[in-house]
Amino acid sequence: MSVAQIVAGAGLIGALLLLAGLYGWKQWQHLRLPAEATEEARFLRRQAWRRLVNSALLFVLGGLLFGAMVWLEGPAQQLADETEQSTDAAWTPEQKALANTYPGTG
């Protein structure tokens, strides 16, 4: 994995986690305010819950990207390099499992 890939991936993961944390914190603070009985207040409260769920999904996406960079990118790059060097080499069961798991290697 090149330095540019590491920097770009870390930047993307950092931005996702930062946005998820900031927006989640802001919505959590909004939900802690005293609830009013007006229709607009109920709408804003439901909107805050939806945004909090969205923040959680952004956090999960950042975690998935982190996991893919740490555990899948190295073996996938190695498999791609080996496949590029020899076109008729047979794959091991581990390589077949990785090719089925990681898109773009098979």
Report the pLDDT value the prediction gives residue 49, as an integer from 0 to 100.
94
pLDDT 10s digits, 61-100: 999 999 888 887 777 777 777 777 776 667 778 777 777 7
Report the pLDDT value the prediction gives residue 104, as an integer from 0 to 100.
59
Residue 12, C-beta contacts closer than 8 angstroms, at least 6 positions apart:
65
User: What pTM does this model have?
Assistant: 0.71
Q: Is the pLDDT of residue 101 over 60?
A: yes
Q: Any idea which residue has 């870390």 for tokens?
A: 10
Nearest to 59 by CA among 29, 86, 22: 22
Least confident of 7-16, 53-62, 67-76: 67-76
